[in-house]
Amino acid sequence: MSKFPTAAAARGFAAILAVAAVAATVAGCGGSSGSASEPPSLPPAADSPVDSAFIAFVGVDVVPMDSEILLIDQTVIVRSRRIETVGLRADVAVPEGAERFDGSGLVLMPGLVDMHVHLLEQDLPAYIAHGITSVRNMWGYDAIRDMRARVASGALAGPTIYSTSPGIDGTPPKWPFTQIVETPAEAEATVSRLVAEGWTMLKVYQDLRADVYEAVVATARDHGVSFMGHVPHRVGLRQALLSGQASLEHLGGYDVELGGARGAAGWVNIDPTKIPDVVTWTWEAGAYVCPTLEIMKAIAESNGLDVATVAANRRTLVRALYDGNVPLLLGTDSGIDVVAPGASLHDELREFVRAGLRPYAALAAGTVVAAEFLGEMDEFGAVREGLRADLLLVERNPLEDVGAASEPVGVMVNGDWYTRGALNALSR
């Protein structure tokens, strides 16, 4: 979620969560509650997927993403929602009963992960259609947990959902379901309640007081859960890093440390001589950074700022962070009515490349590095035997051009196979 949301974004997200409040029992905002009917499910696609496919992709080239390599002329077998076999076509027999898919001339890679979304049920088809097989939702509410359970059970088609808690913030509240905490005692009670409700990642937001933030940090550690999100204004980048914040969103806090103001305007004038220090701080802290470059360009434009300068300065920092071995996460901030769910992740990939990252490094931020951050390297992020069958079939080598990932021939989400026809139906 952008640090200074546009009016349209604020209206969009407020409307989203207002609908969610009607659609599900809400228990995440100061103990308030209500009940309503189940949220409406998605209409069936005109060309539905083959459910939990038993399929052999034969003769396909593979970008495994756990190394920067293109494996030529492979057979990849998927069964029971897992990648069962990856090997040379000459060495792998297609099992009896498997559907044979001729992948000659095509490239198979892991499905992508959008690591910063505000998830709407109505947007689930767009994520699948654009090859996004997992998401990290960055503002939890009860309907998210219901949505996640229905996706996991197969009752609802969508990417695998990982989610933070509702945002923990000071006054004034800016978004629905904000957990307002104004004292260390309130912070301890709120964090304990959120953990008891099942949230294993806490979202911190921008107006927490420094002493309250430290109470959130201490209580999170006591419960063994991570905390991530914005750098609170009264805490600052250095202290957030020293406190162990797991991920920093939107390059927030870096703007001020580099001599600018907060938000998009702060990126018009920065002092590049200060970049090495902030890169060193971040690397030493072991934090991950989710820059959300594309949406800040849109926000800069809506505020009449010099978009080219804002974009160039943020790209410069991203390249420096990458060169300084700081792990980067690919995320869009979609779902707040600024950038398009699904499609915007491919715009973000291109922004990473414009920042000077190799295509492999850009793609890694939305595959293997995302899995590493979430502690799910044994589940997804690579084309490897035993992992969840989250796959993207494309016509060209994405290690040469990340744009190849934006034109899928087919997408497999947790073993469910969507052909181009099914993807086209989802895009309508």
- Residue-wise pLDDT for 255-301, tens only, equals 999 998 999 999 999 999 999 999 999 999 999 999 999 999 999 99
* In the chain, % of residues over pLDDT 90: 85
Pairing of strands 55-62, 107-110: parallel
Q: Tell me the pLDDT of the chain averaged across its residues.
A: 90
Residues 306 and 265: beta-carbon distance below 8 Å: no
Q: Kindly state the average pLDDT of the residues 115-129.
A: 97
Widest pairwise Cα distance in the chain: 65
Output the pLDDT for position 253: 98
Name the nearest CA neighbour of 231 among 207, 262, 252, 210. 252
> For residue 3, what pLDDT band results from cuts at 50, 70 and 90?
very low
Q: Which two tokens stand for residue 135?
A: 């998401």
Q: Tell me: pLDDT of 359 over 60.
A: yes
The pair of three-digit structure tokens given for residue 106, joined into one six-digit string: 């095509």
Count CA atoms within 13 Å of residue 210 on its CB side: 8
- Cβ atoms of 197 and 28 closer than 8 Å: yes
Nearest to residue 248, comparing CAs of 215, 295, 216, 292? 292
90 or 32, which is more confident?
Answer: 90
Q: Let me know if the fold of 7-40+112-373 is the same as that of 55-110+383-427.
A: no
Say if CB 86 and CB 56 are below 8 A apart.
no
Residues 6+ apart with CB under 8 A from 265: 303, 305
User: Averaged over 390-409, what is the pLDDT?
Assistant: 97
Peptide bond preceding 64: is omega within 30 degrees of 0, i.e. cis?
no
Given a cut of 90, whether residue 27 has pLDDT beyond it is no
Domain map (residue ranges) of the chain: 7-40+112-373, 55-110+383-427
The model's confidence at residue 49, banded by pLDDT at 50, 70 and 90, is low
Separation in Å, CA 426 to CA 121, 130, 156, 158, 421: 13, 10, 13, 11, 9
Residue 151 has pLDDT above 80, yes or no: yes
- CATH domain 7-40+112-373 topology: TIM Barrel (3.20.20)
Exposure string over 30-59, b if 16+ CB within 10 A, otherwise e: eeeeeeeeebeeeeebeeebeebbbbbbbb
Rounded mean pLDDT, 377-401: 98
Residue 106: Cβ within 10 Å count: 17
Q: Is 200 exposed, middle or buried (0-12, 13-18, 19+ CB in 10 A)?
A: middle
Q: How far apart are CA 44 and CA 33, in angstroms?
A: 31
* Residue 256: CB atoms within 10 Å: 17
In this prediction, residue 103 carries a pLDDT of 97
Average pLDDT over residues 70-87: 98
The model's pTM is: 0.90
Distance (Å, whole) CA 93 – CA 202: 46
In sequence order, what E strands does 7-125 have? 55-62, 71-79, 82-88, 99-102, 107-110, 112-117
Domain spanning 55-110+383-427: CATH superfamily: Urease, subunit C, domain 1 (2.30.40.10)
Q: What is the rounded average pLDDT of the residues 244-257? A: 98
CB contact at 8 A, 240 and 211: no
What backbone phi and psi angles, to 5 degrees, belong to 202? -100, 140
Structure tokens, 394: 């494309």
Closest C-alpha among 42, 149, 64, 163 to residue 114: 163
What percent of the chain is modeled with pLDDT above 70? 88
CA distance 135 to 123: 12
User: Do the strands 99-102 and 55-62 form a parallel or antiparallel pair, or are they unpaired?
Assistant: parallel
Distant-in-sequence, close-in-space partners of 222: CB < 8 Å, separation ≥ 6: none
Give strand pairing partners of 99. Answer: 55
H-run or E-run covering 356? none
User: How many C-beta neighbours within 10 Å does residue 349 have?
Assistant: 24
Pairing state of beta strands 132-137 and 160-163? parallel
Q: What is the pLDDT of residue 19?
A: 40
Measured in degrees and rounded to the nearest 5, phi and psi for residue 273 equal: -70, -15
